[in-house]
Chains A and B, each alone.
Chain A
Amino acid sequence: MNVKMIARITGLSLFLTSFFMLVPAGIAVFDGQRLNALSYVGSVLIACLAGSLLLFFARGDNGTFYAQEGFAATGISWILMSLCGALPFRVSGEIPRYVDALFEIISGFTTTGASILTDVESLSRCHLYWRSFSHWLGGMGMLVFLLAVVPQARKTAGAGMHLMRAESPGPSVGKLVPTLRKTAAILYGLYITLTALCVLFLLAGGMPLFDSLCIAYGTAGTGGFSVKNDSMGGYSPYLQNVVTVFMLLFGVNFSIYFLLVLRQFKQVAKNEELRLYLAIAGSAILLIAWNISGMYATPGEALHHAAFQVSSIMTTTGYGTVDFEQWPAFSKSILLILMYIGACAGSTGGGLKVSRVLLLLKTVKQTVRRVLHPRRVQTVRMDGRAVDPEITNNVNAYLAVYCVIVLLSFMLVSLDGYSIGTNLSAVTACFNNIGPGFELVGATGNYSHYSDFSKLVLSADMLLGRLEIFPLLVLFSPDTWSRKA
């Protein structure tokens, strides 16, 4: 294990975090809130100090970097960034307990959007901004940002691929162009462009600039922190529709947009994941609209709310326009299923990912066929080419670990004694990075009533879900820390 390389990467990511914390510091100064400004500046200093110590420790690293270093560096970076990112909330006293602050910022970085705040609107603007911006950063990944910005020594340029693989969601992560740096730059270029478009559309609908930025960050990162207590409910239907469309857009694999820029329309059209994603979203919207049509004045309004909630839940964003807690059980069960499916691989969304579901379905089909014709030779195909059996095996393994961890955390959280529906949906919503669940943690509820222990378990779930389990899991394996045996 090359501890020095890991220290270098985590150190750099701390510097990046502190750099972005300067913006809320500026907002606090602008708003004339001295304590808030100081709390951000202090946190920046602490993060920079920790980062410098790490970089100092890392001097003279030799560049050996393999998959295990990539996983470990990603896991540790995310943990350290969360620890530092939570400081301003605690220092300023607006979130008086550090556990709560940590829960809030992890929820931000992992684009979950689950909150412990009972009254969002009482939070200062700088904190609201930092919460929402953490969604944007965590959505595409901070290490990917590092790869795009920090020049890599050419000898170790290949190392970045391990970081990208560890941080980017999906069963297989590929490059768009031959060099990693350009790939990362293209991803962020698309990300920034789409976010800017979202902001423009929101501004056009008369939303204030501050709200538009925060809502756009939450939409782009598929996070779900709002600046209002009723999430998106108070905004005009136009603004809600804009967010519906952009949530769906950010749930699409970003390589699709790259193909569109390259005018490879045929390839886009035959992308199986995209087709399944749109098909699931479309049918869920129609089914729920039919199911809830009695509750709203016109079928159009039912469709409007169904569309918003489906794209919010499926892309794991977590905004709400209405309290879907009041919806019939059928609609809620559809939403619960969507929570598990999640968005496309290579998007900013969470969940199992549509492509994993697709591969699982295909493997199931294959297994059924094998039962009928034991000697039949078959390959799993996707987008017109054979899928490496290793990938399908990894997907199966991932599902198994996923179930184990979800059930385990469900059990641990249940110690607090709330209902099964609350606990299961809380774990589901945190692990899949959605935010709101059902019952006590539903659209109008929040996570403040859980005990510290449960909050830590749920925080861990959010990180595990965002990084897709393995980068954090390897930190606990002795094999990771030694190459000796």
Chain B
Amino acid sequence: MGGDGKDKGITMRIIVAGDGKVGLELLRLLSEEGHELVAIDSSGDVLKRQIQNIDVMTVEGNCAAMSVLQEAGIEHTDILIAVTGSDEINLLCCLTAKNLHGAVHTIARVRSPEYTEQLYLMREDYGLSLIINPEKEAAEEISRLLQLPGFLKRETFAKGRVELVELLVNEGGLLQNTKLMDLPRVLGPNCNVLVCAVIRGDEVFIPTGGTTLLAGDHIYVTAPVTNLSLLLTRIGVTRRKIRHALLIGGGRVSYYLTQQLLLSGVRVKIIERDEARAAQLATMLPEASIILDDGASPEALVREGITETDALVTLTGIDEQNVLTSMYGSTLGVPLVATKVDRIGSTGILENLSVGSVVSPKETCSAHIVQYVRAMENQAGAAVTLHRVADGRVEALEFVVNEKMRFIGEPLKNLHSHIKKNILISCITHRGRTVIPDGNAHYEKNDTVIVINGRESPILQFNDIFE
């Protein structure tokens, strides 16, 4: 019955154990891709209230227990994703599942710093397909942003050769009122970039050559990584390496970020309110200075040098406090501000507030898992990298061209009538050389192509971009 043949890709059966923030986001994203989902949670309340609008089956119980996994139908499940609040339960859940059904792919969230060094060991021994650590990934993202100030967001493609960056069009800046077809002239030679998505107010769209940028627009730009600093110089954002960073809140993201910043020679100060945690941090990070104080109090912030620091990163567990502190920092003129949010989406209401770069561990982590699932779905034609930006409304996908893909060797100008609306081929990397394509460019086998998708429906395979 029905027309299941219309659904693209393979439908997989996926169990998501633990329905916290990440679990829910995953259920939402994966159900949009049309998979069969089973959600396990120990609290029936969560299952009833949170998931009522997603097409999933729910099982109440401890996800590490055999009987519960069996009830969830582990024997015919393709992927198990364990994202409960506890690392140990996640690991035990994956182990049990693997025992019950050897062919299942298991993904566990493990975020405790104590386990960091044994991650590879655990992956091997426990037969896990993927271990994710959202806090560590978020820390890496923040660290990348701090290395190249001026961008609100940076995502990498093609083994780091291409990046997708988010920029704010400043009032009175060079980009304001520029038509996109004039952009190469405005930016000058050798600065090869492509604006691939524009957020204007509530609206997200894929621009054309005739689009004019307005002040307050957030734009997403793809560019070879070598062009990035040039781009910043040309649009008048001066680049200065940061030397000091002030971190508010001493959670896990803080710990991982401090480790990375210290390695690249940045001096770090962490303000943490909890005495025990502060002492713990002091032991783990002897090179950082840990201040026991309330990061929400302006007085403490000023005392600890918010007016002099190069970068302010707000990382407490309370989104509202992070937003407020970041706004306070921005008004005091801190050159670089980054804000971590857990519950609220990284765009939307935050777009109009001066909170600097916004990083959401939840979104980073879910995007990572969705990408893994997609890769499994279609080993050959699936995207090797997937980034969701603009609150998930725009996707950037990286494909490696294989012989099954259509229009190989065809100049892009001939493809216009075939490509669906709101889809853009934004970048082609050919033998390690990245070009922003014009009408005469084409792609060949083994090239890397980055596609921007501003449509409602997901792109699962490269050929999906054509009508």
Q: Chain A contacts of B53 at CB under 8 A? A: 65-66, 158-159
Determine if A105 is an interface residue (Cβ-Cβ < 8 Å).
no
Residues of B in contact (CB 8 Å), total: 22
Cα distance, A58 to B6, chains bound together (Å): 24
A155 and B52 contact, CB distance less than 8 A: no
Closest to B72 in A: A178
Known contacts A157-B31, A158-B31, A189-B1; is-contact A179 B6 (Cβ 8 Å): no
The answer to whether A181 has its CB under 8 Å from any CB of chain B is: yes
Residue of B nearest to A188 (CB): B1
Q: Does B32 contact A (CB under 8 A)?
A: yes
Q: Are B55 and A160 in contact (CB under 8 A)?
A: yes
**Is there an interface contact between A177 and B57, defined as CB atoms closer than 8 Å?**
yes
> Which residue from chain B places its CB closest to the CB of A157 in the assembled complex?
B55
Is the Cβ of B36 less than 8 Å from the Cβ of A179? yes
What is the CA–CA distance of A149 and B3 in the complex, to the nearest angstrom? 8
Instruction: Provide the residues of chain A in CB contact with B52, threshold 8 Å.
Output: 66-67, 158, 161-162
Which of B1, B33, B44 is the one whose CB lies under 8 Å from A154? B33
Q: Any chain B CB within 8 A of the CB of A175?
A: yes
Report Cα–Cα, A67/B36, bound state, in Å: 22
Bound Cα distance A211, B36 (Å): 41
Contact A388 B1 (CB under 8 A): no
Residue numbers in A under 8 Å from B13 (CB-CB): 178
- Please tell me if A148 contacts chain B, counting CB pairs below 8 Å: yes
Say which residue of A151, A154, A155, A160 sits within 8 Å of B2 (CB atoms): A151
Q: Which of A79-114 contact B (CB under 8 A)?
A: none
Q: Is the interface of A mostly helix, strand, loop or mixed?
A: helix
B424 at interface by CB-CB < 8 Å: no
- Chain A residues positioned under 8 Å from B56 (CB to CB): 158, 178
CB of B103 closer than 8 Å to a CB of A: no
Q: Is A227 an interface residue (CB 8 A)?
A: no
- Residue pair B55, A185 in contact (C-beta under 8 Å): no
Interfacial residues of chain A within 160-181, with CB under 8 A of chain B in the complex: 160-162, 174-175, 177-181
In the assembled complex, how far is the CB of residue A406 from the closest CB belonging to chain B, in whole angstroms? 30
For B38, what are the chain A residues with a Cβ–Cβ distance below 8 Å?
178
Q: Are B36 and A155 in contact, with the CB atoms below 8 A?
A: no
How far apart are the CA atoms of A18 and B3 in the complex, in Å?
21
Q: Mark B32-58, 1 if CB is under 8 A from A, else 0.
A: 111011100000100000011111110
CB-defined contacts of B457 to chain A, threshold 8 Å: 154
Question: Is B456 interfacial (CB 8 A cutoff)?
Answer: yes
Closest to B53 in A: A158
Q: Report how far A433 CA is from B229 CA in the complex, Å.
A: 75
Q: Which residues of B80-101 have CB atoms within 8 Å of chain A's CB atoms?
A: none
CA A177 to CA B4, docked complex, whole Å: 15
Q: Do B57 and A175 touch (CB < 8 A)?
A: yes
Question: Which of B37, B53, B54, B56 has the most A CB atoms < 10 Å from its CB?
Answer: B53
**When chains A and B are docked, how far (Å) is the Cα of A162 from the Cα of B55?**
11
10 A-B pairs, CB-CB below 8 angstroms? A66-B53, A148-B1, A154-B31, A154-B33, A154-B55, A157-B31, A158-B31, A158-B51, A178-B55, A185-B2
B residues whose Cβ falls under 8 Å from a Cβ of A: 1-3, 6, 13, 31-34, 36-38, 44, 51-57, 456-457
Knowing that A158-B54, A175-B57 are A-B contacts, what are 20 other residue pairs whose CB atoms are under 8 Å apart, sorted by A's residue number?
A66-B52, A67-B52, A148-B2, A149-B1, A158-B53, A159-B53, A161-B55, A162-B52, A174-B57, A177-B57, A178-B38, A178-B55, A179-B36, A179-B55, A180-B55, A181-B55, A185-B2, A188-B1, A189-B1, A388-B44
The 7 residue pairs across chains A and B that have the minimum distance between CB atoms: A157-B55, A178-B36, A158-B53, A178-B57, A158-B54, A185-B1, A158-B55
